[in-house]
Amino acid sequence: MGEHGQEKLQLRSDALVSPNGDTKIIEKHVENGHAAPGVNGGQEYKRYTFSPQPTLEDIRRMQAEFTDERNWNQFHQPRNLLLAMVGEVGEVSELFQWRGEVAEGLPDWTESEREHLAQELSDVLIYLVELAEKCHVDLPQAVLRKMALNRLKYPASKVHGSAKKYTEYNE
Ligand SMILES: Nc1ccn([C@H]2C[C@H](O)[C@@H](COP(=O)(O)OP(=O)(O)OP(=O)(O)O)O2)c(=O)n1
């Protein structure tokens, strides 16, 4: 591939599709060097990826240590954990409310707003993982089973490019 071709490829991999469907070239949407190829509306772009650690089991164990050290297990029954998680979801919602739709990567948010969001999303995850533990749901395996079901319910060949719910598709 010539120099020109490489430049085109670079531009394409920097393209991001905004919520209204326009493809934009943006300067910064992947941080910490994590990136994987993705597809959005037929366009290739760098998909944001996570660090591999901690695993869900790591998070479950760390939260169990946190609650044991404080003798808080007595308060952490399933219903309380569910209410705590929903409360934290509300805190995430507060960060988004009245701002209108935002593009992937939250380009207009300050570092402090991003950190606040990271903290609130972490609270949701921590309570979700502990809720699953206390309900004896093996969350990593349950997710695999559920994703297999989702693939059966929404075959890519049938639903490609459509966001309709499965009940809206004619047999
Ligand atoms: N009884 C508790 C209280 C807190 N936590 C842990 C899990 C959450 O990650 C975090 C929640 O702490 P807060 O209830 O203080 O909530 P925030 O951190 O969101 O603070 P604020 O509500 O002031 O934004 O601490 C916990 O496991 N059990």
In this structure, are residues 103 and 61 in contact, taking their beta carbons and an 8 Å threshold? Answer: no
Closest ligand 1 atom to 66 CA = 27
14 lines ligand 1 (CB under 6 A): no
3-class secondary structure for 93-155? HHHHCCCCCCCCCCCCCCHHHHHHHHHHHHHHHHHHHHHHHHCCCCHHHHHHHHHHHHHHHCC
Model pLDDT, residue 14: 38
User: pTM surpassing 0.95?
Assistant: no
Model pLDDT, residue 83: 98
128 lines ligand 1 (CB under 6 A): no
Model pLDDT, residue 46: 84
| Residuewise pLDDT in 10s, the chain (171 residues) | 333 333 332 323 334 434 444 444 333 334 444 677 777 776 777 899 999 999 999 999 999 999 999 999 999 999 999 999 999 999 999 999 999 999 999 999 999 999 999 999 999 999 999 999 999 999 999 999 999 999 999 999 989 887 777 778 765
In this structure, are residues 40 and 12 in contact, taking their beta carbons and an 8 Å threshold? Answer: no
Q: Which of 82, 93, 123 to mutate to test the pocket of ligand 1 (most atoms within 8 A of CB)?
A: 123
Model pLDDT, residue 40: 73
72 lines ligand 1 (CB under 6 A): yes
Domains (range + CATH), the chain: 3-47 (no CATH), 56-153 (1.10.287.1080)
Model pLDDT, residue 123: 99
Whether the predicted interface score ipTM is above 0.90: yes
Beta bridge partners of 15: 25
Whole-number Å distance, alpha carbon 50 to ligand 1 midpoint, is: 23
